[in-house]
Every structure is written in structure tokens, then in C-alpha cells.
Structure 1
Amino acid sequence: MKGVHSLFVVLAAIVLAPLDVRAQSADLVLCDRIAADPSDPDKPADVKGVTEIASADIPTAIRFCKQAQASRRALFQLGRAYAANRQMVEAIAAWRKAADKGSTSAMVELGVLHATGTGVPKDESQARKLFERAAQAGNPRGVSNLAALGGGAAAPADPARARELLAKAAQTNAEAQYQLGLMLADGTGGAKDEEGARALFEKAAAQNHPGALARMGEFSEHGRGGPKDTAAAKSYYQRAADLGDEDAKKALKRLDCPIVLKDKRGNLVSNLCF
């Protein structure tokens, strides 16, 4: 009987454990679907993410991200949902827990708050530490924010160092590819390289990065860093617009309505569309 009882306990554990895991995974899936940040390195590749959590989705995001908060990604996203709901005390608490678990995106958010004095005492030293931790782990926003903040209290930003750090992260990260592409396109922190920028934007665009898709539209439209291709430009703009990029939406309208009518004072009257 003792052996039978032990077998029952083992079987019960095998049966019950997957149910718990599946329940937690379902919460995380829903949390990801409505609250994931497109630039979060922890975001699953098959999740698009949202630049801003829709107001109608905020209560649902808080509910499911809270239930999945064993995951550092869910904690970071819970902080996003609280911040979208203007509950900054709760957002900061969630981001601190996420940062403690290793979320570099949470480190960046906390760094921004310390740099600006939003919801916490203004402390550039603490902001720098948080950005450095995120940058060293390869978070592109950590890199760019660290460069913007500068190496010391009175030191200027170091865009050349930002390029160096971004180049490492750009080997695998779409956001880093996009950020480095912007620096190459503008000649920030080194030589201007439109061909290199276009190659980076193309890599990030292949991963459905909205900003990179919009940039590829611009580069294709004007022939920057490669051939001019209006059809390709429209395709890139459309993909970016479908992901909510406002600049891409304006670019599409401009391509569809290229003739601008103005009054005698030069003010826009209307566009002629085809």
C-alpha cells in the first residue's frame, strides 16, 4: 500500500505541474500580446509589441501581467501598464523588481526616471549606473541613453563609444541595428555611411522593426545608400504604417497624393491623389 501511495503522489505531481505551467504561460502570452515593448530584448521574436499600450487594454494588461509576474518580462510590462495608467508608484515598484531579475529594459526605464527626476529624486549618478548595466548587457536604449548622458557629471556625450557598443549589440538585436543605422546615416560618432546604414535598416526591417521599415521606405524612395525603388518604398512604408508608424503613414499619403496645391501665400490647400 505504501508503494501504491508513493506512486499516486508522483503521478499527481506529474499531472498537476503542467497545468500550473500552462496557466502561467497563458497569462504571459496575453501579457505579451497587449503590453510587450517592441524594443525589449526579452520580447519573444514572434511578438510584435506595441509602442504604447492602448487605453482600452490597460486594465487587461495589468491583470494578466500581474498574474504572470514571476517572469521578469511580465514585471517590466506590468510597469508599462501601470505607467500608461498614470500609476507611477506601482510602475516604479514593478520595474525595480524586474531590474532585480535582470530586465535591462526596466533598468533603462528606471534610469530615465532618475535622469529626469520623474517619480523619484533626480540622480544622474544612479541613472548612469542603470544605463551602464543595461548597455553592458547589450540593451540598445541603455547604450544610446548612456551616450546622451555622458561619461561624467560634466563630461560630453560620447557618440563614438555609443557606436562601438551598438555595433556589438547590432549583431543580434533589431533595435541596435536601427539605432546604429541612424548614427551611420547622420554621421554621428564617426564617418557618414549611407550604404552601411541601409544594410542595417534592412536587417532590422526584416524583423519588422517599425522605425527601420520607415527608414527603408525613405532610403528606397530617394535612392540613399542603394537603388531608388518607389514600389519597394511604398511596400516598406505600408508595413511600417500597419505597425502604427505615423511618419510612414504620412509618407504613404505623400506618395499617393504627390501634387500639392497652394494658395497665393504658399499655404497648402489640398493634395491631388492618384
Structure 2
Amino acid sequence: MAVRAFLSICFMVGALVLVGMCPAAAADQPQQLKAACERGTPTACNVLGLLHMKGEGVKQDEVRAAAMFRKACDIGDPSSCSNLGVLHAEGVGVQQDDVQAAVFARRACDGGEARGCYNLGVMYAEGTGVQQDEVQAADFTRKACDIGNMKGCYNLAVMYASGFGGQQDEVQAADLYKAVCESGNARGCYNLAAMYATGTGIQQDDIRAADFYRKACDGGNARGCYNLGVMYAEGTGVPQDEFQAADFYRKACDGGSARGCSNLGSMYAAGNGIKQDDVRAATLYRKACDDGDAKGCINLGVIYQVGRGVKSDDTEALKHYGKACDLREQKGCSLYAKLKTGRR
């Protein structure tokens, strides 16, 4: 059972940000905020815009919110420019317009707002609202990271690891993943673990890999839980422990990992690290297969063919072998052909 590979770049436009006042306090004084905004205080306009977005202390009004953000942005508040860019990107309160989204993200970034730089990096990477340009994407992502935006640091690490927008530098990627992981980003912990596991950009160390997969898992990363389960099953970087393997496969499955469900099903089928239960195994194989795991489809086909945990049904077995084959798993194709033709 092999561990999963690296997670990819996280391309998504950032959310709205509230700067300078907690929401509860702001909602209690909308009239004061309105007066301050009318006097030209940009942070007051920004907060008032966010309250209109949420309908807290004022009537929910996305158009009014956009107007508040625009006023604050025009006065020179970069956070408001970032928020206005997000509204244009999503078509909320204003007409959807990726070009305008990029314009306001740039104004935010020029004003030192990290999320504006991050969003502009994403837009250059995808060619959304601007001409696609990997070098520019890397430059703005680096700016976001330098200002302290951890999503920007994560994306920059992925860029260094893959050579996206510049020279590949796995050592830099590992350093950035460390910083991102330390900030509590589970994806960063996962990729750092994968680098330790493979010795990519850092000295190979299975014990450290297990440690960071554990951090990723604790942070809700299902792939981290799956890989830690594999390591416990094989005794790699941790003492071999099938009970622990089953526990982490369950966490992975509950978190949406199809492979975690498939491996947990295999443990139920064999009674390894868990009480043997063919019916439970069948349920887990089905869940894995439904989520696109070819191994789960093969296992489900096998138990239908032999009638273990389910009623024997060659039609169902063929169906699941065929799905595994469609998922480009040769073993599924072979089993399908053998059952279809009656070969042994």
C-alpha cells in the first residue's frame, strides 16, 4: 500500500476581511460607523460594508456593501479594495467582472494588503481577468507570502516544488512548507511529510514524515491520516501496529479519503487490527468505489463474485470490475474479462 503523493496548488480567491473592529462591537454602533464613513474614515466604511454583507446591525444589502467598499478603497484603504475585488470576482453586489476583480486586487496589493497579492497571484496563474502569466503569478504570490499570508506561502512552496513561474527549488519548497505547517496549515504539513518520506528537498526521514503526517491528520487532512495508516500498517517510521492503522484509516475514510475506506474495508475483511466483519467490509468497499477508488471497486467485485458479506451476484461483480477498469486499473479489466468469458 503506497502513500499518497503531494497536494497541489491551492487556487482560490480569498474571502472578505474585517479590519480594525470585531463584528459584535461594530454591529452595535452602525450610526457611529455611518457618521465616521461620511467624514471620510476608510476603516469605518469597510466595516459598514461588511455589516451590510452580513446583515448585522443593519439591513443586509450587498449593493450597499459594495458601495461602502468602493468608497473606502477610493480613499485609500487596501483592505476595502481587496473586498471589492472579491465581490467583482463572485458577482456579489456588483456585476461579475474578472477584469475589475484583478484591478482591485492589484490596488489592494499595491497598498500592502496580502490577500490582494494572493488573489492576484491566483488570477495570473489561472489567466482569470488578466493574461495568464506564471512569472507574474509567482511574483505576486511571493509578495503575499512576504507580507505573511500563509496561503500565499503554501502556493509559493508548490510553485518552487514544481518549477511553476521560475526555477525549481525543492529546498525552498521544503522551507516554506515548514513555515506553513507551523502556522497550522494541514496541507503544508502533509506536503512536508511527503518530502521527508521521499527525501525531496530535505534529508529522507521516515520518522519525521510520520510526525508531519500526524500533524496533517490532526489538522483534518484525510490524506495525512491515510498515509499515517499505511505507515502503521507497514511499520515505516513508526512501530508496526494494525490497530493504529485501522484507527487512522477510519479517520481518513470519515474525512473523505476513498483509499482510506478501501483499506479499512480490507482490514475488516481480514480481521486485522479490528473485529472481522464481512458486511462492514462490503459497505466500506462500496463507499470507496462510489468515490472513485479502483481498488475498492475490485474488492467489491470480488465479494459479489464469491458471495462474502453480500449475496453472490456475478452481474454486480462485473459491474464493479468494469468500473475499476474504467478507472484505468488493469486488474479490474482482467477480472472483468475472466468473469465475462468464464475463464479461470
Aligned 8 A contact 1:76 1:105 in 2: no
The CA deviation string for residues 47-73 of structure 1, in whole angstroms up to 9 with x for no partner, is xxxxxxxxxxxxx9x899969974798
Between the aligned partners of 2:321 and 2:211, the Cα distance in structure 1 is 37
SS in 2 for 1:259: coil
Aligned 8 A contact 2:265 2:281 in 1: yes
Task: Compute the TM-score of the two structures, normalised by the length of structure 1.
Answer: 0.60
The match for 1:117 is 199
Between the aligned partners of 1:76 and 1:248, the Cα distance in structure 2 is 37
The CA deviation string for residues 205-232 of structure 1, in whole angstroms up to 9 with x for no partner, is 2333333223212222222221111211
The match for 2:87 is 18
- CA shift at 1:198, angstroms? 0.9
Superposition pairs of residues 49-198 of structure 1, within 5 angstroms = 70=151, 89=170, 92=174, 95-96=177-178, 99-100=181-182, 102=184, 104=186, 106-138=188-220, 139=222, 140-148=225-233, 150=235, 156-175=239-258, 176-198=260-282
- CA shift at 1:92, angstroms? 4.1
The match for 1:253 is 337
Between the aligned partners of 2:327 and 2:161, the Cα distance in structure 1 is 19
The CA deviation string for residues 92-138 of structure 1, in whole angstroms up to 9 with x for no partner, is 46755664565545534432432453442133442232122123345
Aligned 8 A contact 2:229 2:247 in 1: no
Aligned 8 A contact 1:131 1:142 in 2: yes
- CA shift at 1:143, angstroms? 2.9
The match for 1:205 is 289
Aligned 8 A contact 1:210 1:243 in 2: yes
Between the aligned partners of 1:250 and 1:68, the Cα distance in structure 2 is 49
- CA shift at 1:258, angstroms? 3.4
Between the aligned partners of 1:64 and 1:11, the Cα distance in structure 2 is 24
- The amino acid that maps onto 1:225 is G
- The amino acid that maps onto 1:256 is K
Aligned 8 A contact 1:72 1:101 in 2: no
The range that moved more, 221-230 or 161-170, is: 161-170
Between the aligned partners of 2:136 and 2:307, the Cα distance in structure 1 is 45
Aligned 8 A contact 1:82 1:91 in 2: no
Between the aligned partners of 2:192 and 2:138, the Cα distance in structure 1 is 19
The range that moved more, 112-121 or 211-220, is: 112-121
- CA shift at 1:75, angstroms? 6.7
- The amino acid that maps onto 1:131 is Y
Superposition pairs of residues 229-240 of structure 1, within 5 angstroms = 229-240=313-324
- CA shift at 1:197, angstroms? 0.9
The CA deviation string for residues 135-172 of structure 1, in whole angstroms up to 9 with x for no partner, is 33453324314414759x7x631111222333344334
Within the candidate set 300, 314, 317, 1:216 is matched to: 300
Within the candidate set 64, 68, 71, 1:9 is matched to: 71
The match for 1:43 is none
Aligned 8 A contact 1:80 1:91 in 2: yes
Change (3 A) 1:245 1:97: farther
Between the aligned partners of 1:78 and 1:249, the Cα distance in structure 2 is 37
Change (3 A) 1:120 1:247: same
Between the aligned partners of 2:342 and 2:288, the Cα distance in structure 1 is 28
How many residue pairs were aligned? 225
Between the aligned partners of 2:312 and 2:185, the Cα distance in structure 1 is 40
Between the aligned partners of 1:178 and 1:82, the Cα distance in structure 2 is 34
Between the aligned partners of 2:328 and 2:153, the Cα distance in structure 1 is 26
Aligned 8 A contact 1:134 1:143 in 2: no
Aligned 8 A contact 1:76 1:98 in 2: no
Return 5+ residue gaps in structure 2 as ranges: 1-36, 43-66, 75-80, 91-97, 103-118, 127-131, 142-150
- The amino acid that maps onto 1:162 is A
Aligned 8 A contact 1:81 1:91 in 2: no
Between the aligned partners of 2:293 and 2:140, the Cα distance in structure 1 is 26
SS in 1 for 2:202: coil
Between the aligned partners of 1:63 and 1:181, the Cα distance in structure 2 is 45
- The amino acid that maps onto 1:206 is D
The CA deviation string for residues 241-264 of structure 1, in whole angstroms up to 9 with x for no partner, is 32333322222232334337xxxx
Aligned 8 A contact 1:108 1:130 in 2: yes
